[in-house]
Amino acid sequence: MIRALFAGLFLMAASPLWAEVRIAEVTSPGGIRAWLVEDHGIPFTALSLQFRGGTSLDAPGKRGAVALMAGLLEEGSAGRDSQGFANARDDLAAQFGFDADADGVTVSTRFLTDNRDRAVDLLRGALADPAFDPASVARVRGQILSILQSNAISPDTIASETFAHIVFGDHPYGSHEMGTEDSVKGLTRDDLVAAKAATMARDRMYVAAVGDITPAELGIVLDRLLGGLPEKGAPLPARADPRFSGATRVVDFDTPQSVVVFGQKGLKLTDPDYYAAMVLDQIVGGSGFTARLMNEVREKRGLTYGISTGLVSADLAETWQGGFSSGNDKVAEAIKVVRAVWADTAANGVTQKELDAAKTYLTGSYPLRFDGNSKIASILVGMQMQGLPIDYVARRNGLVEAVTLGQVNRLARRLMTPDALTFVVVGGPTGLASTR
């Protein structure tokens, strides 16, 4: 009954008003800082944590250790095996999530106000003293190996991994965060303990809470939940040096459609032209059928079902990437069209009509991201990770609206590099071979 109640409450709280996203900074008695959006209308709280570094902190020869460690955090803690942990969580109607990517280890939770203390204590055990027992390690390791085996025959994954390796080389960004079959099979419990110590420390921690909790109550929760974590983790990796040669790499794969990933250098979030880059990306390869690539590649020529681009602002590198699928007999032409659109936009810029439409979409769609307490908490953590100010939510649309046509066209000339646009094609494309 309590689990059903919690689900209903969450659905009721899934559409907070945009105007109600008022963020306060909270510092616990123990010195842990967090951002908080109070909402006492529904008796539950969403909490999001992120530890900077993520799978990029895998030790040499231990690729996949952080990902495996994160997958085991919900598999029991000292005094509880995996089933006991799951039963205790379900009895409290709490929800926990653990994940790891190249830039961070993420922990998310939702709990009812009445069960807050017990839910926090349960989660504290998972974070401070995970069991990493042999049976759980074997089971989760098997799940990861199964994913890696599926990835090995997935053209989409092969394209992404090949592109990453070409662009980032030996940097952690250049290899799959889950590791390889050989590296994962060789991981020991000691490796998992070391991976946790390297990543889950207070010197790289960001926290946000949304829901039925006051600043004073949140301070107590923060110290109770996180106060026992180590002060410092491993040194963070060096920045990557992405390299875009303008080449095309073809990976032979028996499939009727080729999968294509392409990209070039991106722009730092701190660059004064970053919001112009957001607008430019929307015009070139953003959402909807009015984007230039969608219009030229799909609408005019029928070479793909869909094509899109996006700015990727990772902690250690910035790229501008895109992707599409196309029939083997059409992909060579599709790539020529993409290069032509890139070159034309760089040389001739965009129109006022395109600018206005892009800004309307970007400002209108932004509030729709805030459609649930957990999503808001995650967004707030991401803002902290990116170094954005606490009032960014209120200011963001104004920054987009302030972008001018001249600014976008100057940026297109500066940023877009058609000769460096790099492609990876996985399939059996007709009339297309690897270059350089």
The 10s digit of each residue's pLDDT in 304-316 is 999 999 999 999 9
Q: What is the dihedral of CA 98, 102, 103, 107, to 10 degrees?
A: 0
Number of domains comprising the chain: 2
The pLDDT value recorded for residue 20 is: 56
Query: Do 140 and 179 belong together in one domain?
Result: yes
Between 35-49, 69-83, 130-144, 213-227, the lowest mean confidence (pLDDT) is in: 69-83
How many of the other CB atoms lie within 10 Å of CB of 431? 9
> Has residue 436 been placed in a domain?
no
Between 18-32, 63-77, 161-175, 326-340, the lowest mean confidence (pLDDT) is in: 18-32
Angle at 212 between CA 122 and CA 113, to 5 degrees: 40
Q: Is 272 helix (H, G, I), strand (E, B) or coil?
A: coil
The pLDDT value recorded for residue 10 is: 37
Query: Do 86 and 49 belong together in one domain?
Result: yes
What CATH number does the domain containing 378 carry?
A: 3.30.830.10
The pLDDT value recorded for residue 183 is: 98
> Has residue 231 been placed in a domain?
no
Mean pLDDT (the chain) is: 94
The pLDDT value recorded for residue 78 is: 73
> Has residue 112 been placed in a domain?
yes
Contact 94, 122 (CB under 8 A): yes
Query: Do 218 and 287 belong together in one domain?
Result: no
> Has residue 268 been placed in a domain?
yes
Q: Is the pLDDT of residue 415 over 50?
A: yes
Could you identify the residue written with the tokens 């920045």? Answer: 239
Query: Do 56 and 139 belong together in one domain?
Result: yes
> Has residue 234 been placed in a domain?
no
The pLDDT value recorded for residue 8 is: 37
Range of the domain at 284: 248-427
Chain centroid, CA 416 distance in Å: 24
Mark which of 177, 196, 226 sits at the end of a domain: 226
The 10s digit of each residue's pLDDT in 334-352 is 999 999 999 999 999 999 9
The 10s digit of each residue's pLDDT in 53-109 is 999 999 999 999 999 999 999 998 877 899 999 999 999 999 999 999 999 999 999
